[in-house]
Amino acid sequence: MRRGVFLDRDGTINRAFLRDGKSYPPASLDEFELLPDAVTAIHRLHDAGLMTVVVTNQPDVATGKQSRAVVDSMNERLAALVPIDTVRACFHVEADGCDCRKPKPGLLLEAAREFDIDLKCSYMVGDRWRDIAAGQAAGCFSILLDGGPDEGVAAAPDAVAGSLLAATDIILDLDRKRTAA
Cα 133 from Cα 140, distance rounded (Å): 10
Cα 75 from Cα 81, distance rounded (Å): 10
With contact defined as beta carbons under 8 Å apart, do 150 and 21 qualify? yes
Q: Which residues pair with 117 in a beta bridge?
A: 2
Q: Which of 8, 127, 131, 175 is catalytic?
A: 8
Distances (CA, A) of 117 to 4, 6, 26, 163, 176: 6, 11, 30, 24, 17
Q: Which helix (H) or strand (E) holds 125?
A: strand 123-126
Residue 10 designated active-site:
yes
Residues annotated catalytic, as ranges? 8, 10
